A and B are shown apart, each in its own frame.
Chain A
Amino acid sequence: MVVATASLAGCSSTGGKRAEEARQQAASGKANVTTPRWKFAMVTHSGDGDTYWDIVQSGAKQAAAKDNIEFLYSHDKEAGRQAQLVQTAIDKKVDGLIVTLAKPDAMKKVVKKAVKAGIPVITINSGQEVSQDFGALTHIGQDETLAGEAVGRELNERGKKKALCVLHEQGNVGHEQRCDGIEKTFDGKVEDLYVDGTNMPGVQSSVEAKLQSDKKVDSVVTLGAPFAATAAEAKKDSGSDAEIDTFDLNAKVAAGLKDGTIGFAVDQQPYLQGYQAVDLLWLYRYNADMLGGGKPVLTGPQILTKKDAGKLEELTKRGTR
């Protein structure tokens, strides 16, 4: 009796799992091809628990389910260990390999080895400059400098004068390229701010401090979706009226776009990177098809604003955008 009362009192009539179940589930498919069950491996430079790579994986898994593929995923943020993971994929005699080249020099030898062993290789996300050199069939991803340039142009259009580029990982080449890209096309001034990505209160107070000390900043660009909401919080506390913009997308960013706390987001469509890579490898094995014509296949930048927000909210919640 006591337990029943307690559990009744402890329930929430709003939100939570029950509300989610009431919503539609993401579609999951059944294989509808007659090809044999090939084995494809994806090896990325992702750290533990990275939202972005989670979405790449769900795209890849969806394509694998559809194409009757056995999909193997492994990751290590350290280049040397990532190369070892590629070696184990070669040892397993996979039928296709998808790999990221965040630190190309360390990956060169082992990727070439895979190509030599007759494994079709597609690079995704990073390494578009060296992809062809290493013998990969094509590269699927976003040019980070181009993405930065797109942000710079969007900021011009919005009449911004001074932007803050918030870097949450020191020494990440892709992040530097994004900020440099903004600087290239943006007519105003760009300033960098380094924050510690694993400490949210630290990120918030740093952005807050910067906004308090420099009132001229009228736009803040974060390089990862989770930091956009934090920057918005910092803006509120500092009394600044800067616009918050961000690279990448998640449920909170979609909600922010909708209610106007976030100006725009630049997406590189991680789901598409995973899905397309697996599907393209299947097409290559099945029909010797390849996309790109020797040029990288770009999945971004795609600028998302308030008018896209309604649809995105549903999609981000189920983890595919």
Chain B
Amino acid sequence: MTATTDPGKPDYDEPGDGRQQQDPPSPAAAGDRLVHRPLPVRLLRRPELGAVVGALALFVFFACVADSFLRASSLSTVLYFSSTIGIMAVPVALLMIGGEFDLSTGVMVTSSALISSMFSYQMTANTWVGVGVSLLVTLGIGFFNGFMLTRTKLPSFIITLATFLMLTGLNLGLTKVISGTVTTKTISDMEGFDSARAVFASTLTLGSVHIQITVLWWLLLVAVATWILLRTSAGNWIFAVGGGVDAARAVGVPVARTKIGLYLGVAFAAWISGQHLLFNYDTVQSGEGVGNELIYIAAAVIGGCLLTGGYGSAIGAAVGAFIFGMANKGIIYAQWNPDWFKFFLGAMLLLATLLNAWIRKRAEATR
């Protein structure tokens, strides 16, 4: 961890309920900090620990009740679904650590796919041109969210709810005006499609195991996000603005820049997800994506992020997405009555999260 005297930076060795401390450390706390702790204790304090244990429990559970769950092909299906959620959950977790929400993420993914597809089609351009335009526009949407938030100082819930509604309308309205129908036209016969598909929607074969490339994107994002959070000053800023904006500003954290940056990160991930959607299915339904924003937030929370900000981790969010993916597909592998699917899913998530919370409490008690 970078050496810092910034009081806004939460140290995972820090006592308390997991949230960072606003007050300057008291002499006693400072002394406490210097105590060297053994590795198991340090591991226990990590925000993702509860999620990891929850994930293990769920994994063992499904391995017992569903005989086809442990096959390599089944696991790659679970990993694929988890990755489509995880790609978004990771930047959403960073945003939540920074104290903000984004309700527009689900439809932003669809917007990004629609822009890319329709631009390429209408301009009869190489699909990579559409992919590039889509990146710019999607980042623009992210910037809009961040800019409006820092300018108006309204809650992000309201700002991004407005963006969510506007994007939902734009997705449908523009697709209808431009394509004439509510789905985009096929671009699979256009130049650049195959190479773009290789980047965003290909399947890698390792022996007999097929891994979707989204899993790699997911791991890459987790690695980058973890590096930013724990090894850069931007990471310190994120924890600081999430813990308390005023205190962060007082110690010189560029609050507006940090928050806009977080929204740009979310937009970038939405772009990746959107391109996957497009190049995997080749046409895009304009009404898709509504409701996914809550799943991303849920994955981040299952993974140990606090709804109030200032605490959490990227690895946790990834594990949260994995828990959601396992519960979602495990129920199918277990061949339970499909009428009860949503109930089982909800119950699984509740149990995993309760276990998570219980472990975190125990970990803090061992301090």
Contact = CB atoms under 8 A, between A and B. Distances in A.
Q: Say whether A and B bind each other.
A: yes
Interface of A: 9-20, 47-51, 54, 170, 191-194, 196, 198-202, 204-206, 208-210, 212-214, 226, 229-230, 233, 237-239, 250-252, 317, 319
A217 B67 CA distance: 17
B210 A237 contact: yes
A271 to B, nearest CB: 12
Q: What are the 4 closest A-B residue pairs judged by CB atoms, nearest first? A: A49-B287, A16-B124, A205-B81, A15-B189
Contacts of A319: 180-181
A254 to B, nearest CB: 11
23 contacts: A11-B191, A14-B191, A15-B121, A16-B190, A17-B124, A49-B172, A49-B286, A51-B181, A192-B338, A194-B338, A196-B291, A198-B288, A198-B291, A199-B292, A200-B288, A201-B276, A205-B325, A206-B329, A209-B332, A212-B71, A214-B335, A237-B77, A252-B282
Given A14-B190, A250-B183, 17 more contacts: A10-B129, A14-B189, A15-B190, A17-B122, A17-B123, A51-B181, A170-B342, A202-B84, A205-B78, A205-B325, A206-B328, A206-B332, A213-B68, A237-B203, A237-B210, A252-B186, A252-B282
Given A20-B185, A51-B285, A226-B285, A193 B124 contact: no
Nearest to B187: A15
B332 A193 contact: yes
B150 interface: no
Contacts of B185: 20, 251, 317
A297 to B, nearest CB: 26
Q: Is the interface of A mostly helix, strand, loop or mixed?
A: helix
Contacts of A47: 287
Nearest to A316: B181
B168 interface: yes
A207 B225 CA distance: 32
A193 B66 contact: no
A51 B277 CA distance: 18
A188 to B, nearest CB: 17
Contact of B287 (A48, A204, A233): A48
A264 B189 CA distance: 24
Nearest to B292: A199
Contact of B77 (A12, A205, A251): A205
A164 to B, nearest CB: 10
A212 B333 contact: yes
A240 B71 CA distance: 15
Instruction: Give the bracket for the number of chain B residues in contact with chain A.
Output: 35 or more
Interface string B166-192: 001001100110001111011111111
Contacts of A238: 73, 77
Interface in B276-315: 276-277, 280-283, 285-292
A213 B182 contact: no
Given A198-B289, A206-B328, A193 B338 contact: yes
Contacts of B127: 12
A209 B182 contact: no
A11 B181 contact: no
Nearest to B203: A237
A206 B332 CA distance: 7
Nearest to B189: A15
A12 B81 contact: no
Contacts of A200: 277, 280-281, 285, 288
Contacts of B329: 205-206, 209
B194 to A, nearest CB: 11
A239 B74 CA distance: 11
Which of A12, A191, A201, A252 has the most C-beta atoms of chain B within 10 angstroms of its own C-beta? A12
Interface in B94-142: 120-129
A16 B289 contact: no
A191 B171 CA distance: 34
Nearest to A9: B126
B80 interface: yes
Given A17-B122, A198-B292, A238-B77, A213 B328 contact: no
A226 B172 contact: no
Given A15-B190, A250-B183, A212 B68 contact: yes
A125 B327 CA distance: 37
A26 B313 CA distance: 54
Contact of B81 (A9, A198, A202): A202
Given A16-B121, A16-B125, A252 B283 contact: yes
Nearest to B276: A201
Given A17-B122, A201-B280, A233-B280, A212 B292 contact: no
B269 to A, nearest CB: 14
Which of A192, A212, A229 has the most C-beta atoms of chain B within 10 angstroms of its own C-beta? A212
Interface in B312-344: 325, 328-329, 332-333, 335, 338-339, 341-342
A16 B339 CA distance: 42
Given A49-B286, A50-B287, A200-B288, A213 B332 contact: yes
Contacts of B291: 196, 198-199
Contacts of A199: 288-289, 291-292
A229 B291 CA distance: 22
A13 B191 contact: yes
A319 B120 CA distance: 20
Contacts of B66: 213
Contacts of A17: 121-124
B104 to A, nearest CB: 15
A211 to B, nearest CB: 9
A201 B277 contact: yes
Nearest to B283: A252
A196 to B, nearest CB: 8
Given A12-B127, A15-B189, A192-B338, A201 B81 contact: yes
Contacts of B81: 201-202, 205-206
Contacts of A50: 182, 287
Contacts of B77: 205, 208-209, 212, 237-238
Nearest to B68: A213
A20 to B, nearest CB: 7
Contacts of A237: 77, 203, 210
B290 A12 contact: no
